[in-house]
Amino acid sequence: MYTTELFEKYENFKEKTLSKRRFKHKDILPLIEKLKFSKEEVGRSFEGRKIQKVKIGNGPRKILLWSQMHGNEATATMAIFDIFNFFESKNDGFDKFKSYILQNLELHFVPMLNPDGAERFIRRTAQGIDMNRDALALKCPESKILKDLVESLKPEFSFNLHDQNTRYSAGKSPKQASISFLATAYNEDCDWNENRIKARQTISAMNEVLQEFIPNGIGRFSDEFEPRAFGDNIQKWGSSLILIESGGFPNDPEKQFLRKLNFVTILSGLYSIAANSILEYSLSDYLTIPQNEKYLFDLKILNATMLKNEKAYTVEVGINIEEKNIAQASDFINTSVIDDIGDLSVFWGIQTLDANGGVLKPISEYPEIIEKHKLAKYPEEVLEGESASFVLDLGEKQILILNGSIVA
């Protein structure tokens, strides 16, 4: 199915103008404009930004794909533009692969459904509403646009493309859930009708492909029914809804590797649908994907000695890092928090630091470090709930932990 070749030759199709997640609506407009495919404006956001749809292929089976329903979830948006480049390229060794998809499927892409949220790089719309909980009330114009597309196109399959927290683990394991899937439920009992079965079969096919590239790094969301969500309702309305979430991967803060995985995953899923090879997969194949869990800290410190009232004790420290938008949401800085202290033996760290032989102390005790790194004021104690900025004193040397990151 060309999946290895897609992975190896991905750089030939990567849209180079999108190299970071915090791009704006204005950045994708010229990219859409230059496409040779059929394009149309399907509506406007609350603040008046164009929401556009791109159509590729003329097959009998319709597929609807959308990204950035949440404005700060941009990984799949980048991958969609890579997919556009892929379908526009010629004589690249994939002509039969592309032709097969486009002869059998009619693809409809909405690259950025929430451009107002993307402008601020926030989850919600300009109205402050999570549009993925607006499928019934339809308070957002963006929600109405998606509902209208589902009703007018009547897609056989729908791909709902998101990002998720980087600290989800693939089951109870130290592996990040780099990509997660869900065949959403359509009722409280989480029954399996034909639409939902086809969704889970497609997910099983994509999971098999991904195992080649991120073995044991794929997760499955809980299928608890959410009556307000678009995914659950679209499944109920008659389209096989496939949720794909991009999580985390080591040393990939801008999710460029995960973007590549989206490229390969979506194309392989489309081919499997076109070829009806999804029918080979059973419920057991789907259930082998471990469920998403929360067993990870961004940084876990082992064997950490702490001092309180001149008494020493050894603990483990779990630190989590969050991004804070700056420069009109075109960039970010990290903030951090000490999430837990004590026995953290049932958790893992995306990064791990063994503090054996050292003592965790406040930065305020080290004026030379404050001067060297030109630091502002930080907490006077190392406490749960405080900023994860302190010094690991190993006697002969000191390691600065600044906002959850290890500074040599």
Domains and CATH numbers, the chain: 3-293 (3.40.630.10), 296-407 (2.30.40.10)
The per-residue pLDDT for 141 is: 98
pTM > 0.85: yes or no: yes
Q: Which two tokens stand for residue 82?
A: 């890579």
Q: Identify any residues that bridge with 393 across adjacent strands, giving them in sequence order.
A: 359, 398
Q: Which two tokens stand for residue 212?
A: 């080649």
19, 256 Cβ separation under 8 angstroms: yes
**Parallel, antiparallel, or unpaired for β 157-163 and 61-67?**
parallel
H-type helices in 194-255, by residue range?
194-210, 230-237
The per-residue pLDDT for 1 is: 63
Q: Which two tokens stand for residue 241?
A: 């809804």
Q: Name the region of 138 (left: φ>0; alpha: ψ -120 to 50; beta: rest).
A: left
Coil, strand, or helix at residue 269? helix
Mean pLDDT per 10-residue interval, the chain, length 408 residues? 92 98 98 98 98 98 98 98 97 96 98 98 98 98 98 98 98 98 98 98 98 98 96 98 98 97 98 98 98 97 94 97 97 97 97 96 94 90 94 94 92
The per-residue pLDDT for 398 is: 95
